[in-house]
Structure 1
Amino acid sequence: MTETPTPAERARTIATRGGKATLMPSAEGAGKVIPLTHHVHADGVASVLVAQSNPFVQAAWAAPRGELAAMLELADTAPVPLREPVRGLLWFTGWVRALSDDEARRAAVLVAEERPDPRLLDVGHGATMLQLIPASLVLADAEGTHSLRLEDFTAATPDPFCAYEADWLRHLELAHTDVVSLLGRHLPDELRGGHIRPLGLDRFGLRLRVEADDADHDVRLAFEQPVTTTAELANELRRLVGCPFLAETRKRY
Structure 2
Amino acid sequence: MGDSQVWTAAPAAAEQVRSVLGAAWSCAVTADGGREEFVGAHSVDEDGRVSLHVPEDSALLAAAICAPRGEPSAVLEFADVAPVPVRDRVRARVWLAGWFTAEDGHLTFRATRVVLRRPSGAVVVGVEEYTAARPDPLALAEAHLLTHLADCHGDAVERLTRLVDSDSLHGAVRVQPLAVDRHGLTLRIERARTHGDVRLPFHTPADDVSQLTERMHVLLAQAGTASCPRPLQRQRTDRDR
What is the TM-score normalised by the length of structure 2?
0.79
SS at match of 1:57: helix
- C-alpha deviations, 1:35-64, integer Å up to 9, x for none? 241112122221112222222323433455
Question: Which whole-Å CA distance do the structure 2 matches of 1:189 and 1:63 have between them?
Answer: 56
1:19 aligned to which of 15, 18, 25: 25
How far apart are residue 77 of structure 1 and its match?
1.0
The alignment status of 1:154 with 2:97, answered yes or no, reads no
User: Alignment identity in percent?
Assistant: 34
Question: Which whole-Å CA distance do the structure 2 matches of 1:134 and 1:227 have between them?
Answer: 29
User: Structure 1 228/143 Cα, relative in aligned 2: closer, same or farther at 3 Å?
Assistant: farther
| Uncovered stretches (5+) of structure 2, i.e. residues with no partner | 1-7, 226-241
User: Structure 1 149/64 Cα, relative in aligned 2: closer, same or farther at 3 Å?
Assistant: closer
Aligned residue in 2 for 1:133: 110
Aligned residue in 2 for 1:226: 205
- C-alpha deviations, 1:13-36, integer Å up to 9, x for none? 1122133311012x3xx2311124
How many residues align structurally? 216
Aligned residue in 1 for 2:36: 33
The alignment status of 1:8 with 2:14, answered yes or no, reads yes
Question: Which whole-Å CA distance do the structure 2 matches of 1:44 and 1:244 have between them?
Answer: 39
User: Structure 1 66/229 Cα, relative in aligned 2: closer, same or farther at 3 Å?
Assistant: closer
Equivalent positions of 1:32-51 (< 5 A) are 32-36=35-39, 37-51=41-55
How far apart are residue 187 of structure 1 and its match?
2.2
Whose helix fraction is larger, Structure 1's or Structure 2's?
Answer: 1
User: Structure 1 197/96 Cα, relative in aligned 2: closer, same or farther at 3 Å?
Assistant: same
SS at match of 2:207: coil
Aligned residue in 1 for 2:3: none
Q: Partner amino acid for 1:21?
A: C
How far apart are residue 144 of structure 1 and its match?
3.8
How far apart are residue 245 of structure 1 and its match?
9.7
| Uncovered stretches (5+) of structure 1, i.e. residues with no partner | 105-128, 247-253
SS at match of 1:82: coil
- The RMSD of aligned alpha carbons is 2.6
Aligned residue in 2 for 1:215: 194
Q: Partner amino acid for 1:236?
A: R
The alignment status of 1:80 with 2:70, answered yes or no, reads no
Equivalent pair of 1:93/1:136 in contact (CA under 8 Å)? yes
Equivalent pair of 2:64/2:99 in contact (CA under 8 Å)? no
1:239 aligned to which of 200, 211, 218: 218
The alignment status of 1:182 with 2:174, answered yes or no, reads no
